[in-house]
Chains A and B, each alone.
Chain A
Amino acid sequence: MALLDVEDLSVTFRQRGKRTVRAVDGVSFSVDAGEVVGLVGESGCGKSVTSLALMGLLPRQPGISVGGKADFDGTDLLRVDRRAMRDIRGRDVAMIFQDPLSSLNPVIPIGRQVTEVLTRHRGLSGDAARKEAADLLDRVGIPDPTRRLKEYPHQLSGGMRQRALIAIAVACQPRLLIADEPTTALDVTIQAQILELLKALVRDSGTALVMITHDLGVVAGMCDTVNVLYAGRVVETARRRPLFAEPRHPYTVGLLNSIPRLDAGRGDKLSPIPGSVRDVLPWADGCAFAPRCDRQVEACVGEPPQLVLTHTDRTYRCVNPVPAVGSAPAVAEPAVEAGPGPAAEAGPESGPVGPVAEVDPVAEEKQSSVPAPREEESA
């Protein structure tokens, strides 16, 4: 049983007079204690909305509907009431946001923003809280912490602000930390500092970390398991090394081929993914990536591609995946793929959301004794 089990999470934004947006469309992943799980994707793939949904930070108002399950140690984060969520948030689950200047309150000194969490969740007050806050700032590498406590966010540099934010997040030693693009606003040398800090936190305290980023380089250095998202769905999941060594989904391949690498030579041609993230097909009508995909076949359009499980601890959502280096499974998988088709059709109208949950058992059967990777991870 994993610490966090997200199953079939979907978030839909409805607005009168506008197109309904399915920002997250059946995302499932799980995180173990001490594990770093990456959610990678470009803008609009639903990675940030996923994190907001898990934290219960999406506004509760008509028009925004959250579906699925997020089981955190027995509690469904998507179903608990606000009061209970306030107890969990900050204590058991904490979040680090992208832009520290807009997520820290500019008119409240850093010290009070740190002690607020300590008071709320750990019942510390006065000097004890201040001392603990100074300790926290010290632990995240802020020099001269006692003086910093009295300062306001604008008096700190970007890297220091991000450290302060991390200090607030780890104040109660949360069991799960969600970091949403924690280093995107920072310079590379500062980014390296922050990533090292996060790694050390995971290593020392066994905190589970969900790392949301668009930067495959960050993922390569940090994450144990990587989920690649496209248009609101997970298109590929794998352990870090296999994913980079042998990506199977054309989108993952495209991403990897399109980023300039520091260790590549001048003039090595990049192979970009054609089109833009706007050119998506609704998942209900087939594979969202099909319009940009160079491996597109007829089967891509018509019905949504199912998650395919392989023997090697990996899943991908593709009808015509990039062949694996050891070519044997590449032949076997389309056969598996053909199986779930009718099964998915049988679930009427559950179309865009349902298949992930539905298909897994089918695929499992087909692959006989091979357990699903998710189960393996949680074991």
Chain B
Amino acid sequence: MTDGNVSVPSERDENSEPGGNSEPGGNSEPGGNGEHGGNGERGGNSERGGNLVEVRDLKVHFPISRGVIFDRVVGHVKAVDGVDLSIPRGKTYGLVGESGCGKSTLGRALLQLTPPTSGQVTFDGVELTTLPPNKMRSMRRRMQMIFQDPMSSLDPRQNVESILVEGLQAHGIGADRNARREIITKTLDAVGLPKWALSRYPHEFSGGQRQRIGIARALVLGPDLIVADEPVSALDVSIQAQVVNLLDELQAELGLTYLVIAHDLAVVRHISDTIGVMYLGALVEEAPGDRLYRAPLHPYTRALMSAVPVPDPEVEDRRERILLAGDLPSPANPPTGCRFHTRCPWAQPTRCADERPVLRQIGDSRVACHFAEPIASGELRPHKVTAQLTRPEDEGETPGVVSAPSEPGSFV
């Protein structure tokens, strides 16, 4: 259903244009939409190295409007406010952060599901933000999404075959019914679902199996990039591992590139090569997984790492907890300077409140902190921070309203 969300609305856009329907065949440039394109093409891609995705100074601002008859824009929620990142081909980029930090919005903006306010997103050398809708639509075949809640992102009235075939039809993959069926059966097999699943409906499956259907739906089009937004957080712990392993295996087998968005650091750490930590719409630190765990440089990353419970009493008892004071400030009215300075135990009076730190390279990490080195060397000591009150109402309902039509399962 949600994948339908990805492709179907754009299909409608096109249908409203004259001749839209004849297009897909014409502009299906990236080779072999006819056969089950993915494989051959992916082979070609993996030979080329480099980055599959490059994001430059991406911003997504949602207007906050007030007023009864005429809406006045009274401010903006800066959900994503200047993010740079690149994802190498065949690797996994993990994006972590707490709720409201803009990680999901970033993922959606990357796929152009939420139009970015400014900035560039380059996918395999093609600039997406300026791509005309019909080209964008055929591009979508190569970038797919896996959603958090498999129950609400699968249409309860579609059986599995119909869910999977929808994307194939929309992109004109597979010559006839039999060819499509073959593609679908192969995909089902790849995600570990039995063949009889084809005629079943989502409610007949368990949570883990439903998520497999969601993965199959993304996979069936033979994409290069998969954006997985909280792929396991709705699942039971014993099932999480199955899905995490499946994602790993698929990557090894098909050379997929992942952007995994999750709040669970342990999951992200397990699956990612590089991890980006977001706080209030911006990356505060980006580092290889090991490095981030062993030597987090940004104070927020340190606090985050120390807050994640580890299922081992020995570790738990020895760990030093950095407790952050208060809640995440409102993204509509973020603190000046370093966004973290209101809660930062290492905040300094000199630069933190006035000057917004930029990501800079330290070793193999990128950190946005003025005092990363002295903190790492222990020269600066943490101090006590008093909690400042954050009001949820400041965060505004508007982002919800703006993004509602593209929310899973809600398109009208």
Residues of A in contact with B (beta carbons under 8 Å apart):
42-43, 141, 143-144, 154-160, 187-193, 195-196, 214-221, 240-241, 244-245, 254-274, 276-278
CB atoms of A270 and B323 under 8 A apart: no
**Is B237 a contact partner of A270 (Cβ separation < 8 A)?**
no
Q: Which of A195, A217, A219, A257 has the most CB of B within 10 A?
A: A217
> By the criterion CB–CB under 8 Å, are B238 and A258 in contact?
yes
Chain A residues in 8 Å Cβ range of B208: 276
- In B295-324, the 8 Å CB interface with A consists of 303-317, 321, 323-324
Query: Are the CB atoms of A268 and B324 closer together than 8 Å?
Result: no
Q: Is B240 an interface residue (CB 8 A)?
A: yes
Question: In this assembly, does B199 line the interface, its C-beta being within 8 Å of a C-beta of chain A?
Answer: no
Segment 137-161 of B: residues with Cβ below 8 Å from A: none
Cβ contact within 8 Å between A217 and B206: no
Closest chain B CB from A226 CB (angstroms): 10
Question: CB within 8 Å of A: which residues of B?
Answer: 98-99, 206-209, 236-242, 244-245, 248, 263-267, 269-273, 289-290, 293, 303-317, 321, 323-324, 326-328, 386-393
Determine if B392 and A155 form an interchain contact, defined as CB atoms under 8 angstroms apart: yes
Residue among A156, A188, A272, A274 having the largest count of chain B Cβ atoms under 10 Å: A188
Contact for B238 among A156, A262, A269, A272, CB less than 8 A: A272
Contact A265-B290, Cβ < 8 Å, known A42-B238, A259-B241? yes
For A276, give its contact among B99, B209, B313, B315 (CB under 8 Å): B209
Nearest opposing residue in chain A for B273, CB measure: A266
B236 adjacent to A42 (CB under 8 Å): yes
Q: Give the distance in Å from the alpha carbon of A339 to the alpha carbon of B330 in the complex.
A: 63
A278 to B327, CA, bound (A): 38
Tell me the nearest residue of chain B to A44, going by C-beta: B236
Q: Which chain B positions have C-beta within 8 A of A220?
A: 309-313, 315-316
Residues of B within 8 A of A260 (CB): 240-241, 244, 264, 266-267, 269-271
> Count the A-B residue pairs with Cβ separation under 8 angstroms: how many?
172
The residue of chain A having its C-beta at the shortest distance from the C-beta of B317 within the complex is A221
Closest CB in chain A relative to B270 CB, distance in Å: 4
Tell me whether A221 and B307 are in contact (CB under 8 A): no
Distance A189 CA – B245 CA, assembled complex (angstroms):
27
Which of B98, B263, B315, B391 lies in contact with A155, CB distance below 8 A?
A: B391
User: When the two chains form the complex, which single residue of A144, A192, A256 contacts B306, counting CB atoms closer than 8 Å?
Assistant: A192
Sample of 6 more A-B contacts, CB < 8 Å, known A266-B270, A269-B248: A143-B389, A188-B304, A193-B323, A220-B311, A262-B269, A266-B271
- From B272, B290, B388, B391, name the one whose CB has the most chain A CB atoms within 10 angstroms: B391
The answer to whether A192 and B321 touch across the interface, beta carbons within 8 angstroms, is yes
Chain A residues near B316: list those with CB within 8 A: 217, 220-221
Give complex CA distance A196, B307 in Å. Answer: 10
- Of the candidates A155, A244, A267, A274, which one forms a contact with B312 in the assembled complex, judged by CB atoms under 8 Å apart? A244
Give the nearest-CB partner of B289 in chain A. A266
Nearest CB in chain B to that of A257: its residue: B241
Known: A154-B392, A259-B311. A216 touches B206 (CB 8 A): no
**Is the beta-carbon distance between A262 and B293 smaller than 8 angstroms?**
yes
| Residues in B whose Cβ lies below 8 Å from that of A278 | 206
Point out the residue from B239, B313, B391 that lies within 8 Å of A157, measured CB to CB. B391
Closest chain-B Cβ to A154's Cβ sits at a distance in Å of: 7
CB contact under 8 A between A270 and B270, given known A188-B307, A196-B323, A262-B310: yes
**CA–CA, A219 to B236, complex, Å?**
16
Chain A residues, CB < 8 A from B237 = 42, 214-216, 255, 258-259
Q: Is the Cβ of A272 less than 8 Å from the Cβ of B389? A: no
Q: In the complex, are the beta carbons of B387 and A244 less than 8 A apart?
A: no
Interchain nearest-CB distance for A21 vs B (Å): 17
Nearest CB of chain B from residue A316's CB, rounded to whole Å? 18
Contacts of B265 in A (CB 8 A): 188, 262
Question: Which residues of chain B have C-beta atoms less than 8 A from A258's C-beta?
Answer: 237-238, 240-241
Give the CA-CA distance A43 to B241 in the complex, in Å.
16
A265 to B314, CA, bound (A): 18
CB distance from A72 to the nearest CB of B (A): 28
**Complex Cα spacing A219 to B269, Å:** 21
